[in-house]
């Protein structure tokens, strides 16, 4: 499926290297973190192989699909970060693999409320763990 043809959406490419996918796309090189997040926040749809773009799509409630940057069989690939994030948020259906069929209507239907609740729960657990670890470390220093 050619998402651009089907939707008529403008494509903004944020290449991770000097190699671009298509010359006719609007490219943004060397953007700062604020611009990166702004592009994601204001996008109609994000199609990415980036862990960080996936995270910020979820946090900003921007519809997205994610695909692997590297083949799963490549040793040392970073796919597990994307897998863990999508599993934790219940959004594994947003991972598109090479032979998957993309259904246009499904691209814009995401349960962000549930995903964000799971992120908030994990954030609370992490903060509690850090507070406890700091308390224990502080008690050992004093004692």
Asked if the structure places residue 135 within a domain, the reply is no
Examine the pLDDT at 26 and tell me if it is beyond 70.
no
Tell me what pLDDT residue 137 has: 74
CA gap 30, 19 in Å, rounded: 13
User: Where are the strands (E) in the chain, listed by range?
Assistant: 12-13, 26-27, 46-48, 64-66
Asked if the structure places residue 121 within a domain, the reply is no
Asked if the structure places residue 31 within a domain, the reply is yes
Tell me what pLDDT residue 22 has: 55
Specify the pTM. 0.81
Q: What is the pLDDT of residues 103-129, one digit of tens each?
A: 888 889 999 999 999 999 999 999 999
Asked if the structure places residue 126 within a domain, the reply is no
Q: What is the pLDDT of residues 48-102, one digit of tens each?
A: 999 999 999 999 999 999 998 766 666 666 788 999 999 999 999 999 988 888 8
Asked if the structure places residue 86 within a domain, the reply is yes
Asked if the structure places residue 7 within a domain, the reply is yes
CB 48 within 8 A of CB 68: no
Tell me what pLDDT residue 46 has: 95
Asked if the structure places residue 29 within a domain, the reply is yes
Asked if the structure places residue 96 within a domain, the reply is yes
Instruction: Count the domains in the chain.
Output: 1
Examine the pLDDT at 37 and tell me if it is beyond 80.
yes
Tell me what pLDDT residue 143 has: 53
Domain that holds residue 69: 3-110
């Amino acid at each position: 499926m050619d998402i651009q043809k089907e939707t008529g959406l403008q494509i903004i490419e944020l290449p991770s290297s000097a190699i671009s996918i298509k010359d006719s796309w609007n490219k943004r090189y060397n953007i700062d973190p604020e611009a990166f997040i702004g592009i994601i926040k204001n996008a109609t749809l994000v199609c990415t192989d980036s862990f960080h773009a996936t995270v910020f799509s979820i946090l900003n409630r921007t519809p997205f699909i994610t695909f692997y940057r590297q083949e799963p069989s490549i040793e040392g690939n970073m796919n597990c970060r994307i897998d863990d994030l999508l599993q934790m948020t219940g959004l594994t259906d947003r991972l598109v693999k090479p032979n998957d069929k993309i259904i246009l209507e499904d691209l814009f239907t995401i349960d962000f409320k549930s995903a964000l609740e799971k992120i908030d729960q994990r954030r609370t657990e992490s903060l509690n763990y850090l507070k406890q670890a700091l308390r224990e470390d502080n008690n050992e220093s004093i004692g």
